Amino acid sequence: MSLRRTAEEAERLARAKATLDPLGFYTKPVDIRRVRALHVPALFRLPWFRRFDGYEMGPLILLRQPLSQTSDSLLAHELCHVWQDQDHRLRLWWSYLAGGYASNPHEMEARRAGAAAS
């Protein structure tokens, strides 16, 4: 795995950021300088991750499919989670522990971001 972004990765992250910025969910725009979008298919074979196509872990966006096969919608959705993590990490993580996934306000916000990229 390279420590540097590919040109495609840089372009796709910039495009996802351009989708998120006008939404104005948080005071500071999402910072993509350290964000990476990585294809990690083995992760999505684990029981907990099977239901996901992407997963955010801080500045990492982990993808089931190669980036070239990942929709703009999914990338914007996951980058929205990066943004949430940058803005209020503890509140974000606590919301999933306390309230679950399906009706979580952070998940609904990320879905709106994904829809904006469609």
Sheet holding 60-63, edge to edge: 36-39, 60-63, 54-57
The domains of the chain are located at: 7-117
The CATH architecture assigned to 7-117 reads Orthogonal Bundle (1.10)
Model pLDDT for residues 18-62, shown as the tens digit of each residue: 999 999 999 999 999 999 999 999 999 999 999 999 999 999 999
Q: Are 77 and 54 in contact (CB under 8 A)?
A: yes
Report pLDDT for 2.
Answer: 60
